[in-house]
Structure 1
Amino acid sequence: MNISHLVAVSRHSEGNRTMMEDNDDGTEHPNPWEPNENTGLLNDNNQTYFADDRIVVPDDDNTKFSFKKLWAFTGPGFLMSIAFLDPGNIESDLECGSIVGYKLLWILLWSTVLGLLIQRLSARLGVVTGLHLAEMCYKKYKKVPRLIIWLMIEIAIIGSDMQEVIGTAVAIYLLSNRYIPIYGGVIITIIDTFTFLFLENYSLRKLEVFFGFLITVMAISFGYEYVASKPDEISIIQGVVVPWCKNCDNRALLQAVGIIGAIIMPHNLFLHSALVKSREIDRTKPKKVSEANFYYFIECGIAVFISFIINLFVISVFAKGMYQKTNREVHDLCLKYPSINASIFPVNDEYVEADLYKGGIFLGCTYGLAAMYIWAVGILAAGQSSTMTGTYAGQFSMEGFLNLQWPRWRRVLLTRSIAIVPTFIIAFYRNLDDLTSMNDILNAVMSLQLPFAAIPCIAFTSDPTIMGEFVNGIFNKFINIVMSLFVIVINTYFVVTLLLGIELTWYYILLAVIFAVFYLLFCLYLILHLIASMGLSLRTKGFIKKYVMCYEEPKTNEEGTSSYGSMQVNA
């Protein structure tokens, strides 16, 4: 089948086309002179990350597998995998190791697999259609729900950026041996963010290599800690393969939910679907599209596997050293290093409540000062790499949902300013424990945003008018829906449990109830859109046509035959 049958409306001429008159069923169309879901999208040459810098894929059809082609497709998956390694993930890892030891490594494994499968859908959408997830939302959702989704994703991006600010500030605090206070590190993150904007002067390939370097720094840093701590390999294997948590309490359950929420990030779906557009793919040939999907999945699998190993390193290190350790025990260890802040651990017999800073201090007290500084370098690399990918995710989101382009320095200034203000206030007036609590709240906030990325992604990749022969099969639809519902349910449980542990006044409870009602209703709307997108008869209902689905006029392809698709991609 020719891909031109798969996707059939020109993106660049669409904006100049006026709407049809109102349908007989009373469906109203917006003013044709105002931007709406039928307005043409930005030209790729003006978009982030791709301008005049697409990577050419070698045209070699003589072999079933080509390492040269795999190398050409290598890059987007590694940039995407950085979200699996941000400071929020690292803190979740060390908390998991210190609270339950090796027992939840199987949760880490399967949440990583779930993340890979969901990211696969995102990549396929970008490869097949030539539109990333935010652009597709712009085309396929009505204006109001589209703007709601955009706001939710922006909240997730800002929440992630706040975690990156916290991680970077803690790393600077450790590296400076407390000479630069936490709030000083927060201020420094304003400056260091803009240094990355100079990377735009370099080629796309060099940018991808730079991110690969940061991942390598994390692997070496946390790998060093793993080797130095010498964890129990048998316990690690048991933790990975045995899906059980013996003698675990509610804290362990919250850690399990936290691991899943930290790995499956909503804005990462938008990022990955856009990054795959950076390769030259001939979308008029189904074979080339299948080939791109194949190599991108291999590359994504390798990147995600590396992120799994790095996360396993962190959990194992703290499972070996901090599990069931009391504050008194760690405090006594630190007394032999006068330069280390032993007072961070109170002299009592309560178990240590780990965070990024205490984790670094513990490593320094146990394995030497070098271990503390290497840990700080790893956290710094995690924060810096996540900052840049977060900037790209925000840029793609804004370009897609709003169909406008902002200079990247404005975008990064807006996001970082919003992220820094509350972080600076807490760092200046409160203490590190409050920053840790803030990190837990941010994980909960980002968990709530997951439906606004996962449901649209499944809807679009299950829509035959969008994906054609590359549409999700029945089995894939079932698996992806079940997985997403599972993740959404446990994330909701995490948020509810967190709220129940906080003393709230009546008006906060009222606001929470109002938000919960709105949240559930909007999720139901997205599910309704998902069901209709699967090609079921529901999409022909008057209510669905008027309020849920977006339709476009049928087009003819270059062969003059009517097409069933609703999108056009550029070859």
Structure 2
Amino acid sequence: MTRIQQEEPLLAASEEEEEPRETAYDSSEKIVVVGIDDPDDGQENWGRVPPFSWRKLWLFTGPGFLMSIAFLDPGNLEGDLQAGAIAGYSLLWLLMWATAMGLLIQLLSARLGVATGRHLAELCREEYPGWAGLVLWVMAELALIGSDIQEVIGSAIAIRILSHGVVPLWAGVVITALDCFIFLFLENYGVRSLEAFFAVLIGVMAIAFAWMFGEAKPSGKELLLGVLIPKLSSRTIQQAVGVVGCLIMPHNVFLHSALVQSRQVDRSKKGRVQEALNYYSIESTLALIVSFIINIFVTTVFAKGFYGSELANSIGLVNAGQYLQETYGGGLFPILYIWGIGLLAAGQSSTITGTYAGQFIMGGFLNLKLKKWIRALITRSCAIIPTIIVALIFDTSEDSLDVLNEWLNVLQSVQIPFALIPLLCLVSKEQIMGSFRIGVVLKFVLIKFCIASNMDLQTISWLVAALVIVINGYLLMEFFSSEVNGPIFGAVVGAITAAYVAFLVYLIGRTITFSPWQWVTQQKTIAHSVS
């Protein structure tokens, strides 16, 4: 296939965009970055990538930081504190590599959105039969609701901490529900206003948890060794699985493919698309480096204070603040309230991004033409109503909240394949991605690894996805092996598992567009081209 033939699908996709489609943002909402204030470089230079510009990087900055909120939500913070308390510094290396795997998945999501001009939920609606699209939508909604319950409960716990116990959990849930109106208010002032608001919340988290880090003074040597030297034991395997499982969020895959469309990109020029991908790659990498550092702060604070202690196995979001206060004391400002401020910023930011993701998921899968504020209210109601019920039932029971959190983690774990497999299926298809499908060109920092292992980006992406799915499968087996009691419950779980596996096989089967022999031939060709 010649270069011109490879690039035809991208041109065709651009030329056919005459009829309006369901998109993440209206044309009036998009930020103009390229193609307007630059001179027309003509069709002969349609593949030329413009030179790097710091100003353009700044204008592209925003979607990656919104995406990074999912790496800092209350569920992740609970995973961090439990990993630190039970495993000490030994899982910091896994936190780093799990963040790197999450970055790869998010870059593929961004790639899909930029190259096609549509987000993952829309493309799933078009790619799969009606029944399969409906199942994928239900799974995405369940994952979103499960994540939102954790985030809202985390925010409500923070409000109870900061109010010194005056505000009960259910009231904190109601207060958190009002963040939907903040979201709607900020949307009226444009995308950049919303992004600036999230930048402030990330800054609050960074300052709060850095303050805690300074108060606790964890060992720098142990921290460095924990990041550089892999360690894993049978005693810490559950925390290791939790570290990976918490970072890969199903709804975040859908969200990022929509967020990148907030910038106006001239898709008729390959160079402009590649330029956008380059800037989004830089921005997303920087955002996840920040999230990694914040997660390190939390993990090491609890490693320093509780690793090896009698309290290690009993720490959760509900009692973490009180244990911190008892261990580290008051200081200049009580560490209990510093923790509460950081947790509140994490909860508020993640619930708003959950609302944001919900409107894209619902609008994309169902092809709804509702106004954004109506979709936002519907999405928020789907999560808030069950969360209020949960808060009323478990308001005074810390143990029950921990059990609930375990079930919610399982709920999100089973949904991960239903986001990753469609994503990899779509970004691998030339008729959808054109010359930007993965597996054609070795990219960025992966190039050396690809050359050394004779693997292309498509192979690495599938291996990462398989690893994430296997890790979460292990979590499910561990959980249900301890929870399944009685033949009736076992039969129900078995039937659901069979249906679950059958649908996964169906999704994977649709991604196989060539024979194994063709795959082997493709790998040999790539190995020869880079040698």
* 1:249 aligned residue: 234
Distance 1:534 1:377, change over 3 A: farther
Output aligned runs, 1:130-145, within 5 Å: 130-145=117-132
Distance 1:307 1:527, change over 3 A: same
The residue type equivalent to 2:33 in the other structure is: V
The residue type equivalent to 1:484 in the other structure is: A
Out of 354, 365, 369, the position equivalent to 1:401 is 365
| Alignment check: 8 A CA contact 1:7 1:465 kept | no
| Alignment check: 8 A CA contact 1:322 1:352 kept | no
Out of 392, 395, 405, the position equivalent to 2:356 is 392
* 1:309 aligned residue: 293
The residue type equivalent to 2:321 in the other structure is: G
Q: After superposition, what is the alpha-carbon deviation per residue over 1:326-354, rounded to whole angstroms, capped at 9, x for unaligned?
A: 24xxxxxxxxxxxxxxxxxxxxxxx4511
* 1:322 aligned residue: 306
Distance 1:63 1:146, change over 3 A: closer
* 1:363 aligned residue: 324
Comparing 256-265 with 506-515, greater Cα deviation is found at: 506-515
Distance 1:62 1:524, change over 3 A: closer
Return the TM-score normalized by structure 2.
0.86
Out of 438, 454, 469, the position equivalent to 1:472 is 438
Matched, 1:457 2:423: yes
CA distance in 2, matches of 1:371, 1:360: 8
| Alignment check: 8 A CA contact 2:325 2:334 kept | yes
* 2:259 aligned residue: 275
* 1:222 aligned residue: 209
The residue type equivalent to 2:30 in the other structure is: R
Output aligned runs, 1:117-266, within 5 Å: 117-245=104-232, 248-250=233-235, 252-266=236-250
The residue type equivalent to 1:57 in the other structure is: V
* 1:8 aligned residue: 12
CA distance in 1, matches of 2:208, 2:64: 21
* 1:53 aligned residue: 29
Q: After superposition, what is the alpha-carbon deviation per residue over 1:128-154, rounded to whole angstroms, capped at 9, x for unaligned?
A: 111111111111111111111111011
Matched, 1:296 2:260: no
1:501 partner SS: helix
Q: Structure 2: where are the runs of 5+ without partners?
A: 39-47, 440-454, 520-531
* 2:408 aligned residue: 442
1:489 offset after TM fit, Å? Answer: 0.9
Out of 323, 339, 344, the position equivalent to 1:375 is 339
| Alignment check: 8 A CA contact 2:11 2:268 kept | no
The residue type equivalent to 1:147 in the other structure is: L
Q: After superposition, what is the alpha-carbon deviation per residue over 1:95-119, rounded to whole angstroms, capped at 9, x for unaligned?
A: 1111111110111000000000011
Distance 1:494 1:195, change over 3 A: same
CA distance in 2, matches of 1:479, 1:127: 21
| Alignment check: 8 A CA contact 1:101 1:323 kept | yes
Q: After superposition, what is the alpha-carbon deviation per residue over 1:230-278, rounded to whole angstroms, capped at 9, x for unaligned?
A: 0001111111111112xx334x111111111110111111100111111
| Alignment check: 8 A CA contact 2:50 2:272 kept | no
CA distance in 2, matches of 1:107, 1:162: 26
How many residues in Structure 1 have an aligned counterpart in Structure 2? Answer: 483
CA distance in 2, matches of 1:108, 1:235: 15
Distance 1:236 1:150, change over 3 A: same
The residue type equivalent to 1:321 in the other structure is: G
1:532 partner SS: coil
| Alignment check: 8 A CA contact 2:125 2:364 kept | yes
* 1:484 aligned residue: 465
Distance 1:7 1:149, change over 3 A: farther
| Alignment check: 8 A CA contact 1:194 1:409 kept | no
* 1:336 aligned residue: none
2:264 partner SS: coil
CA distance in 2, matches of 1:510, 1:176: 46
Q: After superposition, what is the alpha-carbon deviation per residue over 1:33-55, rounded to whole angstroms, capped at 9, x for unaligned?
A: xxxxxxx842x4xx5x4451211
CA distance in 2, matches of 1:62, 1:284: 13
Distance 1:486 1:203, change over 3 A: same
* 1:506 aligned residue: 487
CA distance in 1, matches of 2:435, 2:188: 39
Return the TM-score normalized by structure 1.
0.80
CA distance in 1, matches of 2:477, 2:518: 36
Computing the radius of gyration from Cα coordinates, the structure with the larger value is 1
- Going by fraction, where is helix more abundant, 1 or 2? 2
| Alignment check: 8 A CA contact 1:166 1:423 kept | yes
* 2:42 aligned residue: none
1:421 offset after TM fit, Å? Answer: 4.0
* 1:517 aligned residue: 498
CA distance in 1, matches of 2:431, 2:518: 14
Q: Structure 1: where are the runs of 5+ without partners?
A: 15-39, 328-350, 539-571
The residue type equivalent to 1:65 in the other structure is: F
Output aligned runs, 1:36-47, within 5 Å: 41-42=21-22, 44=23, 47=24
The residue type equivalent to 1:476 in the other structure is: L
CA distance in 2, matches of 1:535, 1:298: 34
1:206 offset after TM fit, Å? Answer: 1.1
CA distance in 2, matches of 1:433, 1:98: 17
1:305 offset after TM fit, Å? Answer: 0.6
* 1:353 aligned residue: 314
1:422 offset after TM fit, Å? Answer: 4.1
1:223 partner SS: helix
1:12 offset after TM fit, Å? Answer: 6.2
